[in-house]
Structure 1
């Protein structure tokens, strides 16, 4: 199956965009009913066939995907599949996802919608896992679609420790990276650990792409400052859906509403709406192997249809995290996003990069690393900010550098062995057959 997919700018009004979505719905519904799960769900009931039937479609949940593991949502013959993936399982048992070659064209096109562009002249370091999750494969497919040179710097491989990645970034003139926000910090710390300045010693680097963690504007600004002011370009997605939103030049995340229908579900009322705060629900419009109808990602979001200064006629989304991620402290609720804004609201000169917190019912404990000469002042200013913005009891501790992230983690070159059976005298033959 080959579907003609739109690009940003192929419509001139929200009404045209809505009509584009509705035109695809009969094909989406027909394809979904080829899977065992949706065929069984509508067995003996009126089977949805047209756009007018979409309002009656019920939610598909993560538990539905878990219950149908692995191929209950397969809507094509197995031989048509190009890849198989599983989610990371951070919120429960993993879910399965699978894609055809045509699905992959759609996935790569959506990822490649970066406002800074991916070009044939780019050397693109992919620093996310090349495992069952989709993230690294997605970036590689998009980079190849646009002609870039891919450097597969798998973030979970012992063969690609941080010092090696710092060396590769310098030696290969890496111009783009793809990693989560924490890894951007880790790469900066690893560069500093070997005497390099992230803001000066990587002149080819022109942008860093990031996702996988909710990212506040304060943290994004700090990441950009650390790396010399280059853009830190965020996107949002999942293994089940691929990229579903990308950042515009104005800094907003726009939902790719020409490639999927997005709705906001209220757990309190059970209602679905086009905007507002609640859990994000997505119906991909160009999915062949594993169609999803009103799939609830269970991510807490705020969606707006207000105009954006960038001129893109697409809704914007603020990703607040998985539902239920706030913690009660005293009479208030503390979220990671709000606390992150305060931590990275400290002056950049304090060099605060790594922190952690624990919410107890009666006190919020916060620890962070900072150099000796500014640590006391940083503690004082963060305490004042928490008093002012959160109003919760707190205990804040400033720690010396390399307390939370050991120096060895930033500088160690791993001893990677292939299987070996014959050793010379004096060698450590206890490593025979072991992979370390």
Structure 2
């Protein structure tokens, strides 16, 4: 089956027709799933939401709509918001997954060497980038960020020595690499041409700062283990939802009303999912969706991923606070920060060189109080290494396989260790 490609429709009305033409097949596929057979399948406007708890209750294969023999991979989410959820994909599902991830405006080619620095294991993120890169002929460096075998010191060596051209990681990771490279004495990475990032909210100020630090474009991606890639950037820096591959709705958390656009919690109905159809899946991320025109001409809705907004004193989110931190002048060198909310009091720490301690703390305090006058903000500067220890940037982990025979003087307490 040919999957839709950007350019197959000429306006938002054409995009809506594409979605409506595909929905009957989606509903029919859902009826083959034990979960939806029991719940019942209705036209999408009448279909109740599918929640993360529904996926947990259906563990492991209650959502399966194909034979087990047709599965290509099984995955579980990180479980950061509760018990993990199971997801599974057929080979045809993987074609869809890899195509969506590869919709990067900078492109992925056979000439590229791409470092994948997100988890492999049960989460989909590392496997997704790996599959997309290989389908385009690129060389993959599988530098899983959950493995002790690739500490930051090794990452920057590989980036430099292998002439890595593309990377895939959390945005925060790129700043940790830059700090590790600075400590290790690496001055430039001339082969690098773009940083692909996702997995956490990324504001314009931090994105711009990362781009200036590395001197290359930063290309953002948004998705989840249960769905794969849901949105990516056009060359104008706008995040677009892949609405030719899924129907997107926004739920007002106060009223429960679902609308095509606006601010609220994202709801997703994948259009080309064989193994695990999802109808109105509530992904629980707060977003802002718009159908405003974009110069790219893709005719896809735009999205801002806002992150959590549950601070008691008002509409303060991680993304909003991040924008203020990375709005500080570059010369202050503030890359790392953390904050803790307690009622209407906000305690913030920033890592900053001694010469800029007073200026940086004062500027950030004023910025927070100006943007959020009801919040009592207190900013404390900490010295370099105070939030990200130098040892983390320079460590070389001891990696060994299990062994049984040791020589005199060797530490046999490591016999059963495996990292």
- Identify the TM-score tier after normalising by the shorter chain: over 0.9
5+ unaligned residues in a row in structure 1: which ranges?
Answer: none
CA–CA distance in structure 1, aligned partners of residues 113 and 106 of structure 2: 14
Shift of 1:429: 2.1
5 Å-filtered alignment, 1:32-431, equals 32-42=30-40, 48=42, 53-197=43-187, 201-228=188-215, 230-322=216-308, 325-329=309-313, 332-391=314-373, 392-431=375-414
- Tell me the TM-score normalized by structure 1: 0.94
Q: What's the offset of the Cα at 1:424? A: 1.8
1:251-303 deviation digits (Å, cap 9, x = unpaired): 11100011111111112222211111111111111000000011111111110
Whether the 8 Å CA contact 1:326–1:336 is kept in 2: the answer is no
Structure 1 residue matching 2:285: 3-state secondary structure: strand
Contact 2:307–2:317 (CA under 8 A) maintained in structure 1: no
SS in 2 for 1:364: strand
- Displacement of 1:376 after TM fit? 1.5
Aligned residues: 418
Distance 1:435 1:414 in 2: 12
Offset at 1:338? 1.1
In 1, Cα distance between equivalents of 2:83 and 2:407: 46
Mark the runs of 5 or more structure 2 residues left unpaired by the alignment.
Answer: none
Counterpart Cα distance in 2 of 1:274 and 1:360: 35
Instruction: Return the alpha-carbon distance in structure 2 between the equivalents of residues 185 and 319 of structure 1.
Output: 20
Contact 2:337/2:348 (CA < 8 Å) preserved in 1? Answer: yes
For residues 132 and 414 of structure 2, the distance between their equivalents in structure 1, rounded to whole angstroms, comes to: 39
Q: Distance in 2 between matches of 1:59 and 1:13?
A: 28
Answer yes or no: is the 8 Å Cα contact 2:269–2:281 preserved in 1.
Answer: yes
Q: Give 2:14's match in structure 1, choosing from 16, 24, 28.
A: 16
> What do residues 152-188 of structure 1 show as CA deviations (whole Å, max 9, x unaligned)?
0000001111111111111110000000011111111
1:434 shift after superposition: 2.0
**Separation of aligned partners in 1, 2:326 and 2:17:** 42
- 1:4 equivalent to 2:6? Answer no
- The answer as to whether partners of 2:246 and 2:268 remain within 8 angstroms in 1 is yes
TM-score scaled by structure 2? 0.98
Q: Deviations over 1:99-140 (max 9, x none)?
A: 000000000000000001001100000000111110000000
Q: Quick check: 1:153–1:160 contact (8 Å CA) kept in 2?
A: yes
Query: How many Å separate the matches in 1 of 2:68 and 2:125?
Result: 22
Deviation, 1:418, is: 0.8
Q: Retained in 2: the 8 A contact 1:143–1:149? A: yes
